[in-house]
Amino acid sequence: MALSCSRLTNNLSLIRLWSVRTNQIANGLYGQCVCHQSRHYSSSEVRRGIGRYVTSRLQWVNSKYEGFLKRRFPRFYLLYHTFVEGFKLLFRDAKDVSRIKTKMLSDGVKFQDLSYREMEKLRQFRRDMLKGIPLVLISIPPFANYLVFFLMYFFPRQVLIPHFWTPKQQVEFRQLYHSIRARQHRPVLLGLQHAGGQVKDSQLRSRLDSLCSQVQNGANPKVSEVLAVRSLFSGTPLGMSKLSVGQMRNISPLLFLTPRLPGFLIGRRLTSHALELLQLDRALSKLGPHQLSDSEVRQACYVRGLNSDRLAINQCRVWLYQWLQMSSSLKDSDLSLLLHCLVLLSASDPNGIHHP
């Protein structure tokens, strides 16, 4: 009896041990299978797969659409392609500006402490947005997009920012804008000569008159000749606070600013833009003009009043070095001379050919 009970106990123990191990193995295999299935059929992976499929199909449809436009409507395709690329550039610039603004706020960096390219990016983006905001407001009402497309197609220079200009339009519009600036060269020089008549120092008066005559005759004055009359532009009669309203109105179009404002507003805007340009020059001198690409050199010269599209790139670089040689000698109190150099150094091309 005792022996049979002992055998029964041992058998029960073996059965219990076998059942436990069997359950562990079964649970382990089942758990692995469940985990494997859950990983394979997870909702996140399904969503990613659907997203990749939809994206690929949209890209395929878009490529087919572009091919159709390119074959059947080449002119409209050029407009469409320019807009697509323009939005990409605009989005990239917006990200860059956001990064720069965040850097200025978080690190306490001031505008004058930014690098040259960061300064130029902020300056140009601000001007572009001021021009683009009216078009965005026009497009808000329902069905107004048709009017917007009409304006974009027939008036690209007036309503579009440079991001949405074709390469041909880039050159064409820059030439047009420069011709508007060039109309102000003669009035600015005449205003200088008229103000020079108020100078009591005969030597300074003679130097200023000679400088204006050189530029009017198509010659390129030296930096030393410009700096020789520097004192006239920091006080009476040509300092920023002493300029006549007429002369400020003559200078405003050189910076693409409207002259149709009250005199005190024109003076404030000119001072702000001149200081910004001087800070840009200082940042560019620190970077070194040799670090700029050819397109950046042409843009830098154009901003400073030169018709850079009509010159060889080497001539643009030489002129830019000359400009920086002049501006590096100026202080914040010499902003008036910097503005007048938009004519004194830029009215004649470096090759000695005068293009009014």
Enumerate the domain spans of the chain: 59-163, 181-344
Contact between residue 245 and residue 263 where contact means Cβ atoms under 8 Å apart: yes
Residue that the structure tokens 């519009």 belong to: 173
- Closest by Cα among 39, 301, 19 to 181: 301
Question: Which residues in the chain show pLDDT less than 70?
Answer: 1-47, 57-59, 62, 64-66, 68-70, 139, 143-146, 349-356
What percent of the residues of the chain are helix, what percent strand, and what percent coil, each to the nearest 5?
80, 0, 20
Cα–Cα distance between 189 and 161 in angstroms, integer?
Answer: 31
Convert the pLDDT of each residue in 41-82 to its tens digit.
466 666 677 777 777 766 677 676 667 666 777 777 777 778
Question: Residue 97 burial by CB count (10 A; 0-12/13-18/19+): exposed, middle or buried?
Answer: middle
Q: What are the two backbone dihedrals, phi and then psi, of residue 40, each rounded to the nearest 5 degrees? A: -70, -35
Q: What are the two backbone dihedrals, phi and then psi, of residue 348, each rounded to the nearest 5 degrees? A: -115, 140
pTM: 0.78
Facing residues of 348 across strands? Answer: 354
Convert the pLDDT of each residue in 175-191 to its tens digit.
999 999 999 999 999 99
**Helix, strand or coil, per DSSP, at residue 168:** helix
| 311 residue type, one letter | L
- Report cis status (omega within 30 of 0) of the bond before 350: no
